[in-house]
Amino acid sequence: MLEEIAQIDSRFKILKKNGVVRLEGCKTGINGQLTIDAEIFEVTSSFHVVEVKKIAGNTLEYWKFLDQYLKPLNEMVWVWQRYEQQQ
């Protein structure tokens, strides 16, 4: 998902290291460069948890990022859960 965001929004670039995907802003803001890490944990083979956290940068920019790119995923999870319950 973060790789797709970096392709869509040229303000970000992707780095991968030790199982962590890092999204870095290309511009340095008031509090430095916005840096976001995402790490995927496999709870079971069919259940994964993704931890997303701000490492550096402006908190307001981070919240805008969450609103624009990650909050729409919430709807996807709920749709998937309803689908599972119907079967």
Q: How many CA atoms lie within 13 A of 66 on its CB side?
A: 14
Query: H or E segment at 1?
Result: none
* CATH number of the CATH domain containing 69: 3.30.310.80
Predicted TM-score (pTM) above 0.75: no
Cα distance between residue 84 and residue 77, in whole Å: 11
| Biggest alpha carbon–alpha carbon distance for the chain | 50
Residue 41's domain comprises 2-86
| pLDDT given for residue 77 in this prediction | 56
Please state the domain count of the chain.
Answer: 1
Give the model's pLDDT for residue 56.
94
The per-residue pLDDT for 79 is 47
pLDDT along the chain (87 residues), means of 10: 71 85 82 88 82 91 85 57 53
